[in-house]
Structure 1
Amino acid sequence: MIRLHDHPLSGNGHKVRMLLSMLGLAHEHVFRDVPSGRPQQEEEFAALNPLLQIPILEDGGTVIWDSQAILVYLARRYGPDWFPLEPEPAARVVQWLSFATNEINNSLQQARLYYLLGEHIDIELMTRRGLRVLTILDRELAGRSWLAADRATIADLACYPYVGLSRQGKLPLDDFRHVIDWMERIEAMPGYVPMPGLLGTPPIP
């Protein structure tokens, strides 16, 4: 049985939840209260991921942490169409995985943490970075439906959650029409999993 260690409000966890659902893979959720700074059973948690971060995937004896790495693992093992092997689209997938890890996480995700959890963050800097990220994505999506190939790949799932949650970081997501259209295409896919704060879902109380 696949086990996903996660928190329901984690955007990084949501990437993995979406792919597991879209692949039709049965799995068990293990709640980890990382936002509180007190994940349960810390010693056992650290044995799975020394960084004490989520998500973590257990698949039999295989343990993978880092959301982008988990997406690659699941795609290569269970859904190869999600990670093309041709050199150019494969490189483009990796390019967008890096964009999700660096540019998106260091802007949109940080702005969200500032407003939701009161993290000590330079919100003006994160807002400027977030606007730049949304502008880049909108420009890139102006001429195509998906980020890395002629179909949805893990690149799209990797970038989607924190872009979709950017309203929680007080960023004007609705000003970026091509981004909204791309999100709606993802949300129309079979197996899509909703999350509070995304399009068509109620906000976090």
Structure 2
Amino acid sequence: MSAITLYRHPLSGHSHRVEAFLSILGLQADIVDVDLMGGAHKKPEFLQKNIFGQVPVLTDGDITLSDSNAILVYLASAYDPKRTWLPQHPVAQADVQRFLSMAAGKVAYGPAAARLVTLFGAGLDHQHAITSAHAMLAVLDSHLAHRQYLVGDGPTIADIANYAYIAHAPEGGVDLGNYANVRNWLKRIEALEGFVPMQKSPVGLCA
């Protein structure tokens, strides 16, 4: 039995961030699927793990953590002795945080929101989410014009945090065809040793 357990949903990009990073770090973890459609994340047993009733949740021995970006910070700090995934230099750390904020903001309200509409029937403004996604992708494509990764010369948790919902943006009706630099960046993340893909979803899952 692994000391690390990840509570996740297989179609959750937030969960995938953690699952992919665990694999890249070579960490063994028990994976527990949470039945979101059945409301398991809102039941008392799960709420003891995360008061907000969201996946993912990670337990590591006596430690229980929620929020995907916070979990990435923990794993990078605890299990990456070279500190390449979360650089030690203050400016680089701040730059990583900037892109973690992008993952929690512009990505969440753009491609992730658009995907929620098409896959899960979320009552959100689909066109607004698509428009927001393209605005974000245009900026990101420009940022990646002369660099391989989001921060510095190598991959960081900033890349891991932003990957899944951008890679799966087409599931929400967001075409990546005009963003060659973004597509090449996605391929570089997918080529990382230990990377595991997120399960693809049929459009209109809950239609």
The answer for the alignment partner of 1:156 in structure 2 is: 159
Post-superposition Cα deviations, 1:135-172, rounded to whole Å, max 9, x if no partner, equal 11101101100001110000000000000010001111
Instruction: Measure how far apart 1:204 and its partner are.
Output: 3.0
Q: Residue 57 of structure 1 aligns to a residue in which SS?
A: strand
Q: Which has the higher helix share?
A: 1
The answer for the alignment partner of 1:71 in structure 2 is: 72
Q: Residue 137 of structure 2 aligns to a residue in which SS?
A: helix
Q: Which residue, 163, 169, 179 being the options, matches 2:172?
A: 169
The answer for the alignment partner of 2:202 in structure 1 is: 204
CA distance, structure 1, for counterparts of residue 33 and residue 141 of structure 2: 34
CA distance, structure 2, for counterparts of residue 25 and residue 160 of structure 1: 20
The answer for the alignment partner of 1:191 in structure 2 is: 194
Instruction: Measure how far apart 1:10 and its partner are.
Output: 0.6
Q: Residue 174 of structure 1 aligns to a residue in which SS?
A: coil
The answer for the alignment partner of 2:111 in structure 1 is: 108
Instruction: Measure how far apart 1:91 and its partner are.
Output: 0.7
The answer for the alignment partner of 2:55 in structure 1 is: 54
The answer for the alignment partner of 1:179 in structure 2 is: 182
Q: Quick one: structure 1 residues 126 and 4, their matched pair in 2 at CA, closer, same or farther if it must change by over 3 Å?
A: same
Instruction: Measure how far apart 1:24 and its partner are.
Output: 0.4
For 1:137-152, what aligned pairs fall within 5 Å after superposition? 137-152=140-155
CA distance, structure 2, for counterparts of residue 46 and residue 193 of structure 1: 28
CA distance, structure 2, for counterparts of residue 175 and residue 63 of structure 1: 41
Post-superposition Cα deviations, 1:69-112, rounded to whole Å, max 9, x if no partner, equal 00000000001221001011111100000000011001111100
Q: Quick one: structure 1 residues 44 and 102, their matched pair in 2 at CA, closer, same or farther if it must change by over 3 Å?
A: same
The CA RMSD over aligned residues, in Å, is 1.3
The answer for the alignment partner of 1:200 in structure 2 is: none
The answer for the alignment partner of 1:89 in structure 2 is: 92
The answer for the alignment partner of 2:12 in structure 1 is: 10
Instruction: Measure how far apart 1:41 and its partner are.
Output: 8.1
8 Å CA contact 1:196, 1:204 repeated in 2: no
Q: Residue 58 of structure 1 aligns to a residue in which SS?
A: strand
Q: Residue 30 of structure 1 aligns to a residue in which SS?
A: strand
Instruction: Measure how far apart 1:196 and its partner are.
Output: 2.8
Q: Residue 165 of structure 2 aligns to a residue in which SS?
A: helix
CA distance, structure 2, for counterparts of residue 33 and residue 109 of structure 1: 20
Instruction: Measure how far apart 1:187 and its partner are.
Output: 0.6
Could you tell me the TM-score, scaled by structure 1's length?
A: 0.94
4+ residue stretches of structure 1 with deviation over 2 A? none
Gaps of 5+ in 1: 198-202
8 Å CA contact 2:42, 2:53 repeated in 1: no
Q: Residue 166 of structure 2 aligns to a residue in which SS?
A: helix
Residue 38 of structure 1 pairs with residue 39 of structure 2 = yes
CA distance, structure 1, for counterparts of residue 169 and residue 159 of structure 2: 16
CA distance, structure 1, for counterparts of residue 120 and residue 96 of structure 2: 31
Instruction: Measure how far apart 1:194 and its partner are.
Output: 1.2
